[in-house]
Amino acid sequence: MNILWISDGKKGHEKQVEILLNEVSKTENIIIKKEIVVINKFSQLFELVTYSVSLLLGGLFLNTGKFLKYDEDNIDIIIGAGSSIHLRMLLIKNYLSNKGNSIKVVSILTPSLYRRKFDIICSPTHDSEKLLVTKKVIFFEGCLAKVSTNELEENIGFIGIGGTNRHFVFDQDAIIMQIEFLIGLYQQKKWFLFTSRRTPNEMIDKIKNIALTNKNLIISDDNYDEIIEKASIKVVTQDSINMIYESLSTKGQTLLFNMKYIKINKIVNQINILLSNKRVGYFENEQIVDGLDKIKIISQNMHNDVFAEVEKVAYKLIQELRSKSI
């Protein structure tokens, strides 16, 4: 299979596509051509108009100039993740289909527009209501994460910090207090802490102050995959859905920091299901007297299997593509 991977360059999107393609390559002979496309709001609007007009004209393709480079690639599948590149994927399919090529377009994550025009959509279950009228959907829980059953190192811990978001109150002082409790409770461990692009600079400064007085806390930018696979305990903020499922796709404990939700929505519901099923543990604040709380850890069910959503999705995707004789 010749695969054209259209990427928006965003790390979270690229990671999920790469992990899925790696899984597919275990059983299929695939050749991947990756193209990073940066699309601003103006060009995205232009592509929306172009594609919409082409549909009104019965699929006649407009503005073929920039797509001539795909003529010699013998593309079978176009794949990508991210709302900014979905129209580009459909336009490339439209162009090549008008030249007699049989192309399948696979969206990783839920497209914002023209969902029925995608041949296959691989979507998280929390988006299922958006896809009720879409035929070929492969659902997965959380995100597509690398599966690891590597042995753990008891002296290593992982902390994942998100940031400002629409789902949970990001109370910096409350999270800092929980970090200090954690590293004080497990003083024999080296804790590797990873932030995200959403983490406020003020929060990063507070974490650096803790690291100045505690050598067991290491603020890290490197070796993310290695650390999350090795760490015997992983502790993540509830807003970081990808980090939570990346942790659950490895061995060891996964714990969630105590955070208040802003309002009930699909992400909060997803977290609540994990909590109620004891797929994750969590920090609980117990009030002793007014103004004084005690933190305690509620453990997960340690007999849970490692999440392997990407393996399920890869298998179903291969079956779908084979049935379409690609």
Distance from the Cα of residue 45 to its chain's centroid: 26
Q: What is the pLDDT of residue 69?
A: 81
Distance from the Cα of residue 167 to its chain's centroid: 16
CA distance 109 to 241: 14
Q: What is the pLDDT of residue 157?
A: 98
Q: What is the pLDDT of residue 291?
A: 60
This prediction has a pTM of 0.88
Residue 219 CB partners (closer than 8 Å, separation 6+): 193, 195, 204, 207, 208, 211
Q: What is the pLDDT of residue 99?
A: 73
Q: What is the pLDDT of residue 294?
A: 81
- Tell me if 207 sits within 8 A of 219, measured CB to CB: yes
Smallest Cα–Cα separation from 320: which of 140, 6, 26, 104? 104
> H/E element holding 276?
helix 266-276
Q: How many CB atoms lie within 10 A of CB 259?
A: 22
3-state secondary structure (DSSP) of residue 284: strand
Q: What is the pLDDT of residue 326?
A: 53
Q: How many CB atoms lie within 10 A of CB 161?
A: 27
CA distance 168 to 256: 12
- The neighbouring-strand residues paired with 64 are none
Q: What is the pLDDT of residue 107?
A: 96
- Tell me if 142 sits within 8 A of 310, measured CB to CB: no
Q: What is the pLDDT of residue 308?
A: 95
The boundaries of every CATH 3.40.50.2000 domain in the chain are 153-298
Q: What would the two tokens of residue 273 be?
A: 């299901």
Q: What is the pLDDT of residue 20?
A: 98
Q: What is the pLDDT of residue 62?
A: 58
Q: What would the two tokens of residue 99 be?
A: 């030249």
CATH number of this structure's domain 153-298, picked from the four choices 3.50.50.60, 1.10.10.10, 3.40.50.2000, 3.40.50.300? 3.40.50.2000
Q: What is the pLDDT of residue 68?
A: 74
The boundaries of every CATH 3.40.50.2300 domain in the chain are 2-144+310-323
CATH topology of domain 2-144+310-323: Rossmann fold (3.40.50)
- The greatest distance separating any two alpha carbons of the chain, rounded to the nearest whole angstrom, comes to 74
Q: What is the pLDDT of residue 56?
A: 79
pLDDT along the chain (326 residues), means of 10: 94 95 96 91 85 76 68 87 92 83 91 90 86 81 94 97 96 95 95 96 96 94 94 97 96 96 94 95 76 81 90 95 70
